Amino acid sequence: MAPVLADLQEVDHGIARLVRHQLRRSSLGRLKGGLDLFERASRSQSSARTRKVLATLTREIAEDRARLRVMADALGVGEARLAQLALSVGETVSRVKLNGRFVRRSPLSDVLELEALLSAVRGKRAGWEGMRVLASNDARIDVAELDDLIVRADSQIERLVAAHAEAAATLR
């Protein structure tokens, strides 16, 4: 085999390996952990408007996870069940706070929860961007699908920033 062809095949193998790693080790598990957080936040926020926004975002995050699952299936990547379990447990444990308020939420809880959600969506967007770069060299991944997911993440971030500003304004 010619050296150039062998080098290209090694690059293709490396790209596939990186995409598989991104899907297996982080994205699916992070989206599951993020989905759990969105579901809880959509029930616990003080503002009815924010609860409605978060309920919509929860549905979108579930759809994003399903779309990622299709990409993972196209690459033959299985879910990392242990990573998902660890994230779910971590999300559950994060609810326990030593703020002296065991029966009701702290006034800062809405703001801090929205900050965590913003961080999760920003991380998801960064993951889509990384996969977008790798997908340009792998026909099994739809680049247009990733572009759509990036635009969708931007929209999710905008809505969360607005909800965060509203929650922060109530602390005055």
CATH number at residue 43: 1.20.1260.10
Tell me the torsion sign for CA atoms 123, 126, 132, 138. negative
pLDDT digits (tens, 9 = 90+) for 23-76: 555 555 566 667 888 898 999 999 999 999 999 999 999 998 888 888 877 877
Q: What is the pLDDT of residue 3?
A: 47
Q: What are phi and psi of 100, to 5 degrees?
A: 75, 10
Q: Is residue 11 very low, low, confident or very high in pLDDT (cuts 50, 70, 90)? A: very low
Are 167 and 160 within 8 A, CB to CB? no
pLDDT digits (tens, 9 = 90+) for 117-161: 999 899 889 888 888 887 888 888 889 999 999 999 999 999 999
Tell me the torsion sign for CA atoms 96, 98, 101, 107. negative
Considering only residues 113 and 83, tell me which one the structure prediction assigns the higher pLDDT: 113
Q: What is the pLDDT of residue 83?
A: 46
Identity at 22, one-letter amino acid code = Q
Considering only residues 17 and 36, tell me which one the structure prediction assigns the higher pLDDT: 36
Tell me the residue range of the domain where 153 lies.
3-169
Q: pTM to 2 decimals? A: 0.74
Domain tally, the chain:
1
Please give the Cα distance from 112 to 124 (Å, whole number). Answer: 18
pLDDT at 110 over 90: yes
Cα 122 to the chain's mean position, in Å?
8
Task: Compute CA distances 142 → 37, 58, 81, 129, 149, whole Å.
Answer: 28, 24, 25, 13, 11
Are 23 and 109 within 8 A, CB to CB? no
Label residues 118-147 b or e (16+ Cβ within 10 Å = b). bebbebbbebbebbbebbeebeebeeebbe
